[in-house]
A = this chain, B = another copy of it.
Amino acid sequence: MIKAYSKDLTYSYVEGFFPTFELIKYRKDDLIAIYVNSDAINSDGLNKLKDFVDEKYFIYSDKAFSISKSKDNAHVLAVFKKKLKNLNKNDDHLVLVNPSDMGNLGNSMRSLLAFGFHNLAIITPAADIFNPKTIRASMGSFFHINIETFSTFEEYLNKYSREYYPFVLTSSKPLADVKFKEKCALVFGNEATGLPTSIYNSNNVKIEQSDEVDSLNLTTSIAIGLYELKKQKESIK
């Protein structure tokens, strides 16, 4: 019987048809089982899922859903091996230094994919990448991106040497004025403490904002950074 999620388990799970299809599409090898709730036995979603997944993976049990922390009643719950894929060195990267909130982490994955990027480096300590809450916030995009963790920013940079752009509120260079180098990295700090100054460089960039408010929240800042990067890449093509 499946256990409620804990960081020590070698598996995690995701609820709902949409993210389960994403899992099947991009990480089929990591699939362990799909629990099916009795109210979903004759559903279109399940029938469609069966076109892609062997019957042996399905377990018909309402009990498994007791581990769910979601407010919605999920019809399926897909269990998968905790595995990560290394970053692609030829692509642009998003680097999050010590993100502490699982919702923010998942949302950042969603924005990353929405703008056509696929590589996320996470500098630990950080919120749990595999927690069902993170996966849920990612809306399934978790399964379609490469994620790699590092214990320091230096470790990341040693492996994936590249031009990088720290997002720093005190910088004087507005985002719109930055010309991003190819195969670069956008670097964002922790929700409360921002980036350590040791990561600052001459590329420091800020998203211009009014001083009437504390600051944009982290996921908003990340989305805007990625949006500008995408726009530049497209105007170059």
Is residue A220 contacting chain B, with contact meaning CB distance below 8 A? yes
Is residue A52 contacting chain B, with contact meaning CB distance below 8 A? no
Contact mask for chain A residues 119-146; partner B; CB cutoff 8 A; 1 contact, 0 none: 0000000000000000000011100100
Query: How far is B111's CA from A231's CA once the two chains are assembled, in angstroms?
Result: 21
B220 touches A111 (CB 8 A): yes
B207 touches A227 (CB 8 A): yes
Minimal beta-carbon separation of A97 from chain B (angstroms): 20
18 contacts between A and B (CB under 8 A): A107-B220, A110-B213, A113-B210, A113-B212, A113-B213, A114-B213, A114-B215, A114-B216, A116-B212, A139-B213, A140-B213, A141-B213, A144-B212, A144-B213, A176-B231, A220-B223, A223-B223, A227-B227
* Partner-B contacts on A (CB < 8 A): 18, 107, 110-111, 113-116, 139-141, 144, 176, 207-210, 212-217, 219-220, 223-224, 227, 230-231, 234
User: Lowest 9 CB-CB distances: which A-B pairs, in order?
Assistant: A116-B210, A114-B209, A220-B223, A113-B213, A114-B213, A114-B216, A141-B213, A139-B214, A224-B227
